[in-house]
């Protein structure tokens, strides 16, 4: 059983931060840091980029912070009990050692749900939080398992990962390979090589995939026309949008919307 004692989501600090607890905490503490951060490691303050995770053990010295304003993190204080006492060891999740991941999105989603549930009055609140925490840790362990250490040590990894997050969060922008490569002071060919090496796909394919996922969402939750949706997702040509959408989903945008309505209608009729 995993018991959450305190937690917070998207916590912001507008001033530079330096937190120090020499005696540590009385429970485990998970930090998902979304901005630049420093941690005290072996008596030395070491800087880490955004998307850094730190899991402090019980009563281990704590010191971390941010040299610039606008520090941002999610945090969870928790206890491991009974059959979960050895969970962190079983999943090989590092304790008292920061590590950086390509993307925190899924983990922060779980954290948001944990905070939401912690504030609820649900009858099965403890069981729901326990399930969410297990999902969070299994997701974290899976990302660690897939993380290629040689890539992380490459000096271009973190700036390129930051660029990729921008692409995934705003695919509608006019992304251009030469401009992206110039931003990282790389040749176009070297940029494309490293992007494929780091992320297993091309930059252009990431843009396309993110645009189509965005289109799928708005086809389901809005009545936006296909032509308006094409522009909204970053396409200058409605025909080009429709071709890429069908290539990735097997359906036209209109067919996708109708399939969603039909499926949703069937669910309603069965309820």
Mean pLDDT of 209-227: 93
Using a pLDDT cut of 70, give the percent of the chain over it. Answer: 94
The full DSSP string for 197-243 is HHHSS-HHHHHHHHHHHHHHHHHHH----HHHHHHHTT-S-HHHHHH
* pLDDT for the residue 148: 60
Task: Report the distance separating Cα 260 and Cα 255, nearest Å.
Answer: 9
3-state secondary structure of 184: coil
Indicate the range of 17-31, 99-113, 172-186 predicted with least confidence: 99-113
Mean pLDDT of 91-95: 93
pLDDT at residue 269 is higher than 90? no
Residues 230-264 have pLDDT tens digits of 999 999 999 999 999 999 999 999 999 999 888 77
Q: Tell me what the pLDDT averaged over the chain comes to.
A: 91
Q: How much is the pTM?
A: 0.59
pLDDT at residue 126 is higher than 60? yes
Using a pLDDT cut of 90, give the percent of the chain over it. Answer: 75
Largest CA-CA distance found in the chain, in angstroms, rounded? 63
* pLDDT for the residue 261: 85
Task: Report the distance separating Cα 88 and Cα 190, nearest Å.
Answer: 38
From residue 54, give the alpha-carbon distance in Å to each of 9, 74, 253. 15, 11, 42
- When pLDDT is cut at 50, 70 and 90, the band that residue 105 belongs to is confident
- In order of their start, the domains of the chain are 2-147 (2.60.120.280), 150-162+177-200 (no CATH), 202-271 (1.10.10.60)
Mean pLDDT of 58-71: 93
Residues 108-123 have pLDDT tens digits of 999 999 999 999 999 9
Residues 161-209 have pLDDT tens digits of 889 888 988 999 999 999 999 999 999 999 999 999 888 899 999 999 9
**Ramachandran angles phi, psi of 40, nearest 5°:** -85, 115
pLDDT at residue 149 is higher than 90? no
């Amino acid at each position: 059983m995993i018991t959450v004692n305190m937690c917070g989501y998207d916590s912001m600090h507008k001033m530079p931060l330096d937190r120090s607890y020499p005696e540590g905490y009385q429970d485990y503490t998970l930090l998902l840091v979304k901005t630049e951060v420093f941690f005290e490691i072996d008596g030395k303050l070491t800087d880490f980029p955004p998307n850094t995770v730190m899991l402090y053990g019980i009563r281990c010295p704590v010191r971390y912070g941010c040299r610039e304003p606008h520090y941002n993190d999610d945090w969870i204080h928790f206890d491991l009990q009974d059959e979960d006492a050895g969970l962190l060891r079983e999943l090989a999740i590092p304790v008292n050692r920061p590590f950086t991941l390509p993307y925190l999105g899924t983990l922060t989603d779980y954290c948001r749900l944990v905070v939401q549930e912690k504030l609820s009055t649900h009858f099965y609140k403890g069981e729901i939080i326990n399930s969410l925490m297990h999902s969070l840790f299994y997701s974290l362990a899976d990302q660690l398992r897939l993380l290629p250490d040689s890539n992380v040590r490459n000096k271009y990894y973190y700036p390129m990962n930051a660029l990729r997050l921008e692409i995934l969060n705003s695919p509608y922008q006019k992304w251009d390979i030469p401009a992206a490569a110039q931003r990282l002071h790389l040749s176009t060919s070297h940029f494309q090589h490293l992007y494929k090496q780091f992320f297993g796909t091309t930059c252009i394919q990431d843009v396309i995939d993110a645009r189509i996922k965005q289109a799928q969402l708005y086809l389901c939750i809005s009545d936006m026309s296909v032509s308006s949706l094409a522009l909204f997702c970053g396409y200058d040509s409605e025909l080009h949008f429709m071709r890429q959408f069908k290539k990735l989903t097997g359906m036209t945008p209109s067919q996708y919307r109708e399939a969603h309505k039909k499926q949703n209608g069937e669910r309603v009729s069965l309820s």
